[in-house]
Amino acid sequence: MPKYFQFMVAGYYLYFTSFCIVECMHVHASDRRLTESGSAKFFVKENGDSVVQSQGSLTDREALVIKKFIKKNYREMYLKWREYSPEGFYEG
């Protein structure tokens, strides 16, 4: 599963799976297996804001830290996403 970065943010890896590249850009967060099951999922908007679809096992504080990290780094993350998927940002 492609990771956006090799380091953890708030104790979680940020990644996407090869099964989910048909959706708009999003970020999974998990401290264990890099799968969709049980992970948190953030859809990313064109301005870097994110919408939590599933919080998984993240606390509210951890989710906030990750949302802030995404906002700060979404352009770089989007470049990684575009290597695998033609889909753009979340429009919702």
Do 45 and 34 touch, CB atoms closer than 8 A? Answer: no
In a domain, 2, yes or no: no
Which pLDDT does position 32 carry in this prediction? 78
pTM: 0.92
Q: What is the dihedral of CA 19, 21, 27, 29, to 10 degrees?
A: 10
Range of the domain at 39: 13-82
Alpha carbon separation from 44 to 32, 60, 69, 76 (Å, rounded): 22, 18, 12, 12
Q: How many domains does the chain have?
A: 1
- Confidence check: pLDDT of 31 > 90: no
In a domain, 87, yes or no: no
- Confidence check: pLDDT of 75 > 90: yes
- Confidence check: pLDDT of 54 > 90: yes
In a domain, 77, yes or no: yes
In a domain, 7, yes or no: no
In a domain, 92, yes or no: no
